[in-house]
Structure 1
Amino acid sequence: MIRGVRGATTVNENDELEIVEATEILLRKMIEENSIEAEMVASVFISVTEDITAVFPAKAMRFIDGWKYVPVMCMREIPVTDSLDKCIRVMMHVNTNSPQQNIQHIYLGDAVKLRPDLNTVDQS
């Protein structure tokens, strides 16, 4: 069965290094907390708010061993009034037998505000 594993993080600046680093930290945490291997992943969607334009955050996946062939796509988040700024969101489509309630969704930085009810994982 395919399950969605969600994650989000924020950056302080529209800076390539900061965006890639924050995205890599988020992806690694999602992978670790859900025991995900690249072969389990059907695809990954990454969205960014309008204020992130310095780099495609999917570049971060290139730094994770074994994830070279995982399909990943970046897109822009809809511009909702008063929404969280400089936010990177990830939706990873994973083949797993884990029940929905056992999936660990990861929210880091200011993104913890998005779903405090789902953020049960230590941010460190």
Structure 2
Amino acid sequence: MIRGVRGATTIEENVEQEIVSATEKLIREMILQNDIVAEAVASVFISVTEDIDGAFPAKALRRITGWTYVPVMCMREIPVENSLKNCIRIMIHINTEKSQREIHHVYLEKAISLRPDLKDE
């Protein structure tokens, strides 16, 4: 079965180093908390808010050993009024036998505010 693992984080500055570093930190935490191996990944979608254009956050995925052939796509979030700014969101689609309740979604930095209902799980 394919399940989605969600994650989000924020950056302070729209510069390549920070975008890639924050994305890598988030992906690594999603991998760790869900025991994800690259061979089980169907695809990765990464979206950014419209104020992020300093780099492709997908570059972070290429820093992770064994993830060379994982399909990844970057896209822009819809610009909803009063939404969280400087936000990077990730959806990893994995092949797993885990139930939805067993999936650990990861929210870092100011993105914790997106899903406060998940912070204690």
Q: What residue number does 2:41 align with?
A: 41
CA shift, 1:17, in A, is: 0.1
CA shift, 1:118, in A, is: 1.5
Deviations 1:49-87 (A, max 9, x none): 000000010000011000000000000000000000000
Helix, strand or coil for the counterpart of 1:74?
Answer: strand
Alpha-carbon distance in structure 2 between the residues aligned to 1:35 and 1:120:
19
The verdict on how the C-alpha distance between 1:117 and 1:75 changes in structure 2, with shifts beyond 3 A counting, is same
CA shift, 1:119, in A, is: 2.6
CA shift, 1:120, in A, is: 3.6
Helix, strand or coil for the counterpart of 1:117?
Answer: helix
Q: Within 5 Å, which residues of 2 pair with 1:48-63?
A: 48-63=48-63
Q: Within 5 Å, which residues of 2 pair with 1:1-124?
A: 1-120=1-120
The verdict on how the C-alpha distance between 1:27 and 1:120 changes in structure 2, with shifts beyond 3 A counting, is farther
TM-score computed with the length of structure 2 as normaliser: 0.98
Alpha-carbon distance in structure 2 between the residues aligned to 1:70 and 1:57:
14
TM-score computed with the length of structure 1 as normaliser: 0.96
Helix, strand or coil for the counterpart of 2:82?
Answer: coil
Whose helix proportion is higher, 1 or 2?
Answer: 2
- Report sequence identity in percent: 66
Is 1:49–1:85's contact at 8 Å kept on the other side of the alignment?
yes
What is the CA RMSD across the aligned residues, in angstroms? 0.8
Alpha-carbon distance in structure 2 between the residues aligned to 1:49 and 1:101:
28
Alpha-carbon distance in structure 2 between the residues aligned to 1:95 and 1:27:
17
Is 1:48–1:76's contact at 8 Å kept on the other side of the alignment?
yes
Deviations 1:84-118 (A, max 9, x none): 00000000000000110010000000000000112
